[in-house]
């Protein structure tokens, strides 16, 4: 059983690194990501920074094993919003075959990360939403 725990921690650490890199990318190239912000959202480029900060904070949460359940659910909700407001409309409305394929890959990637985030949340049975020490 100890072997399973080590493998699962390595998987979570890998996801943490990927999320932190995604977050850094949002801070380094916010204008490149601005085209993905839905037109009905006010704030424009601030959304790129907010999402970048969320990715970094979730990654740090997973690395430090603090607030894992909360941050996993937060990540899942954030990515479901991305799927429904960005990737699915891009897939359905893409005129170019390559753009449609990219949108589908992003949709599938975020769906897989949602599944992983929900699995992490379900595995964090000893962590609770309240901020007191319950371990």
How high is the pLDDT of residue 131?
Answer: 46
For 25-56, what is each residue's pLDDT tens digit?
999 998 888 877 877 778 888 998 999 999 99
Contact present, 82 and 110 (Cβ < 8 Å): yes
Q: Is 128 within a domain?
A: no
Structure pTM? 0.82
Alpha-carbon span 51 to 117, nearest angstrom: 16
Number of domains in the chain: 1
Q: Is 133 within a domain?
A: no
Contact present, 49 and 24 (Cβ < 8 Å): no
Q: Which domain holds residue 75?
A: 2-123
Q: Is 131 within a domain?
A: no
Q: Which long-range contacts (CB under 8 A, 24 or more apart) does 86-91 make?
A: 86/36, 86/38, 89/38
Q: Is 41 within a domain?
A: yes
Closest by CA position to 48, among listed 25, 71, 81, 70: 25
């Amino acid at each position: 059983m100890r072997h399973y725990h080590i493998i699962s921690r390595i998987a979570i650490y890998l996801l943490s690194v990927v999320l932190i890199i995604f977050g850094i990318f949002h801070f380094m190239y916010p204008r490149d990501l601005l085209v993905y912000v839905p037109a009905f959202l006010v704030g424009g480029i601030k959304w790129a920074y907010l999402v970048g900060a969320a990715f970094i904070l979730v990654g740090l949460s997973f690395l430090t094993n603090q607030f894992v359940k909360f941050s996993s659910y937060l990540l899942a909700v954030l990515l479901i919003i991305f799927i429904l407001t960005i990737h699915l409309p891009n897939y359905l409305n893409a005129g170019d075959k390559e753009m449609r394929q990219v949108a589908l890959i992003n949709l599938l990637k975020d769906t897989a990360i949602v599944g992983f985030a929900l699995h992490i949340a379900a595995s964090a049975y000893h962590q609770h939403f309240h901020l007191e020490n319950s371990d």
